[in-house]
């Protein structure tokens, strides 16, 4: 059981189950991974306290990001081994500021230095796509949908930050665009643990299958690897 589930009252689960929410969706045949905004601007440098991290980048989540990083790295490594598509998102270098207030600010300003640097443990390969975006969803006015269609992707796995913000917005749009959508519960993090738990609960009820890293890896392993399927 995911840690977040322990913080949702059983009565809430009962209401949703009784009214037909929380139905599960099968994983399709061609799966892509979206690593949402897991850059230093949203983590802060490794080893800092939360207070130190937000002094470095006010949008940083701090220690929880680095506790989550090994699980994200394992998920990324698994997709690489399968030859499956991985898309990393980050803040636009030169467009509308969205960091921290994803739908509020329209000030044009570039992120500070190192903001868009990825931690070494999950740094994208040269062959992998780093998608810059200006709003919370990875789909909003980006070519992501076209890329996924061209690659015949039918299922998305999402991880990263923040659970309540850009991960959630991207999951809702993934569902709205017809993809089977999975959120890796132990590969997401948020500066607010309350928001993390509440949003995993709500996404699981309405838009996505929220599952553990172990569960997602098992589902992936039950399907042919991308390279084998393409041959």
CB 64 within 8 A of CB 44: no
Higher pLDDT, 121 or 24: 121
- What's the pLDDT score for residue 161? 97
pTM for the model: 0.87
Rounded to the nearest integer, the mean pLDDT of the chain is 88
CB 47 within 8 A of CB 171: no
CATH number of the domain to which 185 belongs: 3.40.50.850
What is the DSSP code (8-state) at residue 108?
Answer: B
Q: Could you tell me how many residues make up the chain?
A: 231
40 within a domain of the structure (yes/no)? yes
Q: How far apart are CA 84 and CA 23, in angstroms?
A: 26
Q: Is the dihedral of CA 41, 45, 51, 56 positive or negative?
A: negative
9 within a domain of the structure (yes/no)? no
Higher pLDDT, 211 or 230: 211
- The residue range of the domain holding 137 is 31-96+116-230
As given in the structure block, the two tokens for residue 45 are 């440098």
193 within a domain of the structure (yes/no)? yes
- What's the pLDDT score for residue 189? 97
With 0-12 / 13-18 / 19 or more C-beta atoms within 10 angstroms meaning exposed / middle / buried, residue 13 is middle
Give per-residue pLDDT as tens, 65-106. Answer: 999 999 999 999 999 999 999 999 999 886 545 444 554 555
Of 2-11, 86-95, 175-184, least confident by mean pLDDT is: 2-11
Residue 90 dihedral angles phi and psi, to the nearest 5°:
-155, 175
Q: How far apart are CA 48 and CA 159, in angstroms?
A: 22
Grade residue 43 by pLDDT with cuts at 50, 70 and 90.
very high
147 within a domain of the structure (yes/no)? yes
Domains: count for the chain:
1
Percent of the chain with pLDDT over 90: 73
Q: How far apart are CA 183 and CA 160, in angstroms?
A: 9
Q: How far apart are CA 61 and CA 188, in angstroms?
A: 11
- What's the pLDDT score for residue 10? 77
Grade residue 19 by pLDDT with cuts at 50, 70 and 90.
low
Three-state secondary-structure class, residue 168: helix
11 within a domain of the structure (yes/no)? no
Catalytic residue positions? 166
8 within a domain of the structure (yes/no)? no
- What's the pLDDT score for residue 230? 42
Mean pLDDT of 1-23: 71
For residue 106, whether the previous peptide bond is cis, meaning omega lies within 30 degrees of 0, is no
β-bridge partners, 210: 183
Q: Which DSSP string corresponds to 25-67?
A: ----SSEEEEEES-SHHHH-STT--HHHHHHH-TT--THHHHH
Mean pLDDT of 158-168: 97
3 within a domain of the structure (yes/no)? no
- What's the pLDDT score for residue 226? 64
111 within a domain of the structure (yes/no)? no
What is the DSSP code (8-state) at residue 104?
Answer: T
As given in the structure block, the two tokens for residue 78 are 């698994």
Residue ranges of alpha helices (H) inside 118-167 are: 144-150
Give per-residue pLDDT as tens, 188-225. Answer: 999 999 999 999 999 999 999 999 999 999 999 988 77
Q: How far apart are CA 56 and CA 61, in angstroms?
A: 11
As given in the structure block, the two tokens for residue 164 are 């309540």
């Amino acid at each position: 059981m995911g840690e977040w589930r322990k913080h949702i009252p059983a009565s809430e689960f009962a209401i949703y189950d009784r009214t037909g929410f929380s139905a599960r969706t099968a994983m399709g045949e061609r799966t892509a991974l979206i690593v949402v905004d897991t850059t230093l601007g949203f983590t802060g440098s490794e080893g800092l306290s939360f207070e130190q991290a937000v002094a470095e980048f006010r949008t940083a989540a701090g220690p929880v990001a680095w506790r989550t990083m090994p699980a994200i790295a394992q998920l990324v490594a698994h997709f690489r081994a399968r030859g499956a598509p991985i898309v990393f998102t980050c803040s636009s270098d030169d467009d509308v500021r969205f960091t921290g207030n994803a739908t509020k600010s329209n000030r044009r300003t570039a992120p500070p230095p190192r903001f868009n640097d990825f931690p070494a443990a999950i740094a994208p390969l040269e062959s992998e796509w780093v998608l810059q975006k200006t709003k919370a969803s990875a789909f909003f006015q980006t070519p992501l949908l076209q890329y996924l269609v061209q690659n015949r992707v039918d299922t998305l796995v999402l991880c990263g930050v923040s659970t309540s913000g850009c991960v959630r917005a991207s999951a809702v749009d993934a569902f709205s665009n017809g993809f089977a959508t999975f959120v890796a519960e132990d590969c997401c993090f948020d500066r607010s643990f309350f928001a993390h738990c509440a949003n995993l609960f709500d996404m699981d009820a309405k838009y996505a299958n929220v599952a553990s890293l172990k569960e997602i890896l098992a589902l992936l392993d039950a399907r042919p690897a991308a390279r084998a399927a393409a041959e």
